[in-house]
């Protein structure tokens, strides 16, 4: 696509606009990244304070009964459950980048529970679905981008984000369970 765009710009004599667009885009990308770093640092710091204060443990205890229903194959006190809950908590607060390391650790622990097999277990598939379509209460990244572009009301998208991400999460869980049901039914009939 890049090559086609450059050829098209050369044929139409608009190469100077393309060059200007490339440098303007690069400059904006750096500015957005700097803004996102500050927001991410703030929220990661807040999460660390919450962890030190025991708030994350309390939240994990609160959500644990629901997590046990969603991840029934994970033993009660297994480290995978802690990583899963940390991953989902970070996603709930709109910290997708901060959630990634916890998601990777959770997947490693789930792979151990799966006997080291290369085939994904039910819990691994469920975690992937929830990680992709998790409820987001505070869309920090989007708010940060809207602030960097001087939006008059950068937080106006919060209620819409909660609704949309809630629908996505419910849809992800329903689809995950539907395919699990089909797979287990197919396994019983064989």
Q: How far apart are CA 7 and CA 10, in angstroms?
A: 5
Give the residues of the chain that fall short of pLDDT 50.
none
pLDDT value for 190? 62
Phi-psi sector, 116: left (phi>0), alpha (psi -120 to 50), beta:
left
| Residue-wise pLDDT tens digits, 127-152 | 999 988 988 888 877 887 888 788 89
Q: How far apart are CA 89 and CA 63, in angstroms?
A: 10
pLDDT value for 134? 87
Tokens found for residue 44: 């990661």
pLDDT value for 6? 84
DSSP H helices, 93-157, are 96-113, 122-132, 140-148
In the numeric block, the tokens 């939006």 are attached to 151
Among the listed residues 56, 6, 36, 63, the one whose alpha carbon sits nearest the alpha carbon of residue 147: 36
| Residue-wise pLDDT tens digits, 40-67 | 777 677 767 877 887 767 777 787 888 8
């Amino acid at each position: 696509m890049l090559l086609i765009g450059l050829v098209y710009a050369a044929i139409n004599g608009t190469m100077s606009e393309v060059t200007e667009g490339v440098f303007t885009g690069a400059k904006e990308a750096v500015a957005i990244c700097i803004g996102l770093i500050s927001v991410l640092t703030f929220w990661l710091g807040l999460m660390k304070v919450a962890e030190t204060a025991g708030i994350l443990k309390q939240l994990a205890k609160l959500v644990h009964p629901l997590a046990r229903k969603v991840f029934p194959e994970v033993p009660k006190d297994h480290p995978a459950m802690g990583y899963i809950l940390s991953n989902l908590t970070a996603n709930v607060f709109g910290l997708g980048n901060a959630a990634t390391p916890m998601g990777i650790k959770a997947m490693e622990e789930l792979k151990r529970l799966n006997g080291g097999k290369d085939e994904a277990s039910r819990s691994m598939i469920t975690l992937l679905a929830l990680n992709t379509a998790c409820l987001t209460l505070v869309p920090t990244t989007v708010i940060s981008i809207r602030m960097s572009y001087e939006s008059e009301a950068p937080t106006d998208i919060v209620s819409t984000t909660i609704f949309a991400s809630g629908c996505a999460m419910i849809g992800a869980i329903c689809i995950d369970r539907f395919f699990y049901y089909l797979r287990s039914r197919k396994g019983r009939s064989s």
